[in-house]
Amino acid sequence: MSGSVDPMLAHGREVLASQPFSVLVGAELAALSPGRAELRLPIRQDLRQQHGFLHGGVVSYLADNALTYAGGAAMAVPVVTSEYKINYLRPAIGDTLIARAECLNRGRQQAVVRCDVFVVKDGEEKLCAVAQGTVARLGEGS
Amino acid sequence: MSGSVDPMLAHGREVLASQPFSVLVGAELAALSPGRAELRLPIRQDLRQQHGFLHGGVVSYLADNALTYAGGAAMAVPVVTSEYKINYLRPAIGDTLIARAECLNRGRQQAVVRCDVFVVKDGEEKLCAVAQGTVARLGEGS
Amino acid sequence: MSGSVDPMLAHGREVLASQPFSVLVGAELAALSPGRAELRLPIRQDLRQQHGFLHGGVVSYLADNALTYAGGAAMAVPVVTSEYKINYLRPAIGDTLIARAECLNRGRQQAVVRCDVFVVKDGEEKLCAVAQGTVARLGEGS
Amino acid sequence: MSGSVDPMLAHGREVLASQPFSVLVGAELAALSPGRAELRLPIRQDLRQQHGFLHGGVVSYLADNALTYAGGAAMAVPVVTSEYKINYLRPAIGDTLIARAECLNRGRQQAVVRCDVFVVKDGEEKLCAVAQGTVARLGEGS
């Protein structure tokens, strides 16, 4: 049916819309399926740092949130990111930031997830950060 | 002298004021000395996530930025955070977030820095996240 | 009483003695109390890498094991390290490696722990690596 | 030509043979090409921990070393691992441990590398740990 949205994706978008900070920075949930998530964020002037490229904090935010979504969609329960690590590869210069996360391992209490973050410039995606972390069932964290 | 501000701190505040994203979220540089930095952030409604506490992305942002400041103040050159890891310990519920970073080791190309993030509620500080990462001389990163 | 050993430390040493790999590399448990642990390892020729200093894998092993001990002693249940991050600060050149770990936060399912690794040369301790990670109740990990 | 070995792989094996610790634990370099490396390690009784599976320190060692090889083969200069993070996914129970690392980004001073660690049991590979870290040009680290 034209215009229909997958129920898991629709629910994920409702959750994102209920996060004031995600609304503030303008993140969008582009895809969500068991163990996989894609978040997108149009790069705006007010998200930059002093050298003119996207602030690392925004890159981290998008990676962190993508980890949570992919892990939550794998575990099918409410989750939070309990820890992650990120390596910044290059300055995020472009129009859009894309974070794609994939769950590698899912347990009863937690999931381990990886995320690749790309910046899109002139229609070309470039890998600009990589993250890896743990998503924990809500209320079961540290 | 009343009202005077240390030149290193004054310069650090100018840098922070030149970061549009730091202005957007309302971060303040409370202290800066060689190898040490303290950032503060008043917790606002629009920085929260769906459960009512501060979004993890904001906690990460403040930790990341504190790492950069402490490493930069240790190396005395322009730097960027090249990588870090963060563990969230508890939800950040309160009035103010404080990130205190300390440089552990300083080389010519990079510095290794730790950061403790506290949330202040009813005047009491509680450790809510811990981070560890590498700060690299600008232009010398990966 | 001369020669007596604290029961927690005595139990910890029994556990270490039951780990064939810890016996192989010659690790010793020097101290153990709730949330704190110290492991020591005499540096031997066969633990080195090609440049003559201790292999990073041995440094990681000692940090990892110290994290497990400190977290386990904080939680008072059998645990495993579920994840950690380590930054190597300088080559480990000397006689003895010392890993000191401290639990920062303890939950029902897991604990977050930090570890400083020192190398002792000519009686002087030098910080050579720092680690941070999560220790999980056995059987409750990912 | 029958029996010939690629020069890069042959050199890598010489380096491994010059690491006393790698010889002690029995690591083998199975493959090496620009940006990629595979290390293998037959699981022996004396590499185990008290629960009968391979000690986490050995898993970390193999991941760390694979990161170094992949990064070094990408940068074509002598390197060391300067930092990494590892998540253990499941106990390493089986006959052989395999660490496959791939360089994601290569700079002049450092490279960012990921590693998947598998345990082989009854001929089947299972992912048992994942790592991500930075490899730095020797002498240019922290």
Please report the ipTM that was assigned to this predicted complex. 0.94
Task: Report pLDDT for B3.
Answer: 67
User: Does residue A1 form part of some domain?
Assistant: no
Mean model confidence pLDDT for chain B? 94
User: Does residue A34 form part of some domain?
Assistant: yes
Number of structural domains, chain B? 1
Q: Which residue in B109, B111, B142 is closest to D112 by CB distance? A: B142
Q: What is the mean pLDDT of residues C39-57?
A: 94
- Six-digit token string for C22: 């810890």
C10 interfacial to chain D (CB closer than 8 Å)? no
Task: Report pLDDT for C3.
Answer: 67
Please determine, for residue D95, whether its predicted confidence score (pLDDT) is greater than 60. yes
Q: How many C-beta atoms lie closer than 10 Å to residue C5's C-beta?
A: 10
Q: SS3 letters for B43-76? A: CCHHHECCCCCECHHHHHHHHHHHHHHHHHHHHC
User: Does residue C2 form part of some domain?
Assistant: no
Q: What is the mean pLDDT of residues B48-56?
A: 91
List phi, psi (to 5°) of C24. Answer: -55, -45
Contact predicate C129/C86, CB 8 Å: yes
Contact predicate A132/D85, CB 8 Å: yes
Q: Which residue in A50, A57, A87 is closest to B61 by CB distance? A: A57
Q: What is the mean pLDDT of residues C27-45?
A: 97
The model carries a pTM of 0.96
Any idea which residue has 């629709």 for tokens? A10
Q: What is the mean pLDDT of residues C64-91?
A: 97
Q: Which residue in A19, A45, A61 is closest to B50 by CB distance? A: A19
- From CA A89, how far away is CA A69, in angstroms rounded? 23
- From CA A108, how far away is CA A98, in angstroms rounded? 29
pLDDT in tens, B59-82: 999 999 999 999 999 999 999 999
Task: Report pLDDT for D52.
Answer: 86
Q: What is the mean pLDDT of residues B31-36?
A: 98
Give the chain B residue nearest D103 (alpha carbons).
Answer: B142
Question: In terms of Cα–Cα distance, which of B113, B106, B57, B117 is closest to B81?
Answer: B113
Instruction: Sort out which chain D residues have CB atoms less than 8 A from A114's CB and list them.
Output: 114, 130, 132
User: Does residue D127 form part of some domain?
Assistant: yes
D100 interfacial to chain A (CB closer than 8 Å)? no
C89 interfacial to chain B (CB closer than 8 Å)? yes
B142 interfacial to chain D (CB closer than 8 Å)? yes
User: Does residue D2 form part of some domain?
Assistant: no
- From CA C61, how far away is CA C71, in angstroms rounded? 15
Give the chain A residue nearest D90 (alpha carbons).
Answer: A105
Q: What is the mean pLDDT of residues D98-126?
A: 97
* CATH number reported for the structural domain that contains residue D92 in this entry: 3.10.129.10
B19 interfacial to chain D (CB closer than 8 Å)? no
Please determine, for residue C141, whether its predicted confidence score (pLDDT) is greater than 80. no
User: Does residue C103 form part of some domain?
Assistant: yes
List phi, psi (to 5°) of A92. Answer: -85, 95
Please determine, for residue C140, whether its predicted confidence score (pLDDT) is greater than 60. no
Task: Report pLDDT for C51.
Answer: 86
User: Does residue A44 form part of some domain?
Assistant: yes
pLDDT in tens, A90-133: 999 999 999 999 999 999 999 999 999 999 999 999 999 999 99
Please determine, for residue A5, whether its predicted confidence score (pLDDT) is greater than 50. yes
* Parent domain of B94: 7-137
A6 interfacial to chain C (CB closer than 8 Å)? no
Q: Which of the residues D81, D114, D142 would you substitute to probe the B interface, choosing the one with the greatest number of B C-beta atoms within 10 Å? A: D142
pLDDT in tens, B112-132: 999 999 999 999 999 999 999
User: Does residue B83 form part of some domain?
Assistant: yes
List phi, psi (to 5°) of A108. Answer: -75, -35
Question: In terms of Cα–Cα distance, which of C9, C15, C17 is closest to C38?
Answer: C9
Q: What is the mean pLDDT of residues D65-77?
A: 97
